[in-house]
Structure 1
Amino acid sequence: MFSPRSRMTRRTAAHAAAAVVALAAGGVAATATAHAATCADVDVVVARGTFEPGTLGLIVGDPVYSAIQQKVTNKTTSSYPVDYPANLDVYSNPNSAQKGNADLVDHVTKQAAACPNQRFILVGYSQGANVVDNSIGISSDGAVVGGAIVATIPASIEPRVAAVLLFGNPIRAIGKTVTGTYASRTDDVCANGDPVCGAGTDVSAHLSYGNDAGAAATFAATRLSGASLIS
């Protein structure tokens, strides 16, 4: 079942948390380079957080992908960094999160067509969680750095999404969670004190999700080995 993990736990504090991400990274706003994944058994699709540097995301994506590779030893894996600004633009049309939403769905759709046996793990941190939420049909409109849905993963591909891993998910601060067909495959963790996904004021909590990489990878590995998977 849906796992809204909280180690569980206002809007100005959330923007401060985004600034802390930038400062922790030395103020560098990374631009992920989109690349076509090979037909690995599992493609790990990662939407990084606001201003988060790193190949997939220094705070979440990189450690989570590494942990998945360690846990999923009987399958080949590839990774894809969602190509989107990951900035604080909530005014343009589409805005940052919506651009990520469109790219994630486009990537998964093309990969599914090119690689008929490939499975997917979707990973989203902070604004990236908004990207994933939208892509699976849960609108992040009204959440911090969120936006309306512009694309969703086609129903024909949905069974191939083995796990959804969300960290510091902003929709939780407005009382929403992942519901519906993806709920049982979703691990959604909110750190105690995180102002982005909860009611806390500890901005450092929003930077702590590398601590959850192992547990998230275990959840994903369990889902990949489940009886419901397409062989």
Structure 2
Amino acid sequence: MVSLTFIRPLSIVAALCAAVVLAGCASQVDPSATRDSLAEVTENPDPPQAAELYDAELHPDPIVEPRDCSPYLVITVRGTGEPSKGQLLSPVARSISQARPDQVDVLDLDYPADGEMSEGGTLGARMLVDTLNVQAEACDEQRFVLLGYSQGALVIGDALAAPDARIVGGTVGVVSESAVERVLAVVFYGDPRFVGGEPFNAGSYDPAVNGLLPRAQGSLDAFADRVRDYCVARDFICQSSSLDLDESGHVAYFDNGMQQDGAAFVINRLDPHDDDETGDSSDRRGPDAPDADPAR
């Protein structure tokens, strides 16, 4: 069995997403080059080496170790090029943890999150599938919260979808029925596979416009009442209009309030806090959290 920390894939096909990191210190992004690299994912017919390396039928043993059986496991899956600290998802996970002190374990999925999505995304999908399945088997009561930004949203969405609906991780196995039932909430930001017509979307997006690599509508129907997919109109990753390739949109989530909205959406789905049950005035959405259903 291989630990989450040390596993790394062989890299072959340069592929993914915007080289975007933190607002205020984001790398310069060439929107046209980003679009071309994402298109390469579907245009290149050769499977990545990771497809065989992490094939669940060829290598059925999980590649992760069980974690502690906390009531809630929050898994963050970062965007392309994000550092280990200061990620978009860090404040979201922190707000959830603060809402349920000593009940939340936070795991930042240790996948490459680099430009070679076919390789790294396949590893990420296998790690996520195995983590959910291993934890569901080891921990009878634990439930899961999945947070993904950019490439991370793609990895989570593909891991939860049927293999034939994926663009990464088609060979890495499926999330077990027991684990599916334990998924409490899923929050995406700037998802390349965004579909404008889905009922769980939020933000200033145009519902007639999809992401750069949209998934088939209905691919996440099994999770529809548990998903919040945030997309802003200027984000060319989730809004692929050729007329508005504005890289600033893809980092807008750092300061537009949607981190707090996403945390509120999750916290409202947690079990009532002990103080809530005794009539205390604690807000289940957490401190300073706005309404969990922002207007478009």
With the length of structure 2 as denominator, give the TM-score of the two structures. Answer: 0.59
Name 2:266's counterpart in structure 1.
220
SS at match of 1:208: helix
In 2, Cα distance between the equivalents of 1:154 and 1:208?
Answer: 35
8 Å CA contact 1:164–1:185 kept in 2: the answer is: yes
In 2, Cα distance between the equivalents of 1:84 and 1:108?
Answer: 15
Name 1:182's counterpart in structure 2.
223
CA RMSD of aligned residues (A): 2.8
SS at match of 2:181: helix
Deviations 1:132-165 (A, max 9, x none): 0111116442xxxx56463321112111100011
Shift of 1:87: 0.8
Shift of 1:35: 7.9
2:100 pairs, out of 73, 82, 99, with: 73
Structure number with larger C-alpha Rg = 2
1:54 aligns with 2:112: no
8 Å CA contact 1:165–1:216 kept in 2: the answer is: yes
8 Å CA contact 1:64–1:216 kept in 2: the answer is: yes
2:177 pairs, out of 145, 155, 174, with: 155
In 2, Cα distance between the equivalents of 1:112 and 1:24?
Answer: 38
SS at match of 2:19: helix
SS at match of 1:223: coil
Assess, with a 3 A threshold, how the Cα gap between structure 1 residues 39 and 140 changes in structure 2: closer, same or farther. Answer: same
SS at match of 1:121: strand
In 2, Cα distance between the equivalents of 1:167 and 1:40?
Answer: 26
Poorly superposed stretches of 4+, deviation over 6 Å: none
Deviates more, 1:199-208 or 1:99-108: 199-208
- 1 or 2 for the larger relative contact order (CA 8 Å, sep ≥6)? 1
2:249 pairs, out of 205, 217, 220, with: 205
Name 1:10's counterpart in structure 2.
none
Deviations 1:184-212 (A, max 9, x none): 10000012200111134221221122331
User: Gaps spanning 5+ residues in structure 1: where?
Assistant: 1-13, 28-33, 227-231
Deviations 1:51-95 (A, max 9, x none): 11134xx3322111112123x33771011111211111145xxx1
With the length of structure 1 as denominator, give the TM-score of the two structures. Answer: 0.74
1:131 aligns with 2:155: yes
In 1, Cα distance between the equivalents of 2:253 and 2:171?
Answer: 26
1:40 pairs, out of 57, 70, 76, with: 70
In 1, Cα distance between the equivalents of 2:269 and 2:172?
Answer: 27
% same residue: 32
Name 2:19's counterpart in structure 1.
19
2:115 pairs, out of 69, 74, 88, with: 88
Name 1:111's counterpart in structure 2.
135
8 Å CA contact 1:59–1:209 kept in 2: the answer is: no
In 2, Cα distance between the equivalents of 1:127 and 1:68?
Answer: 22
8 Å CA contact 1:37–1:43 kept in 2: the answer is: no
8 Å CA contact 1:163–1:220 kept in 2: the answer is: yes
SS at match of 1:171: coil
Deviates more, 1:182-191 or 1:104-113: 104-113
Name 1:164's counterpart in structure 2.
186
User: Gaps spanning 5+ residues in structure 2: where?
Assistant: 1-14, 29-63, 195-210, 273-296
Partner amino acid for 1:207?
Answer: V
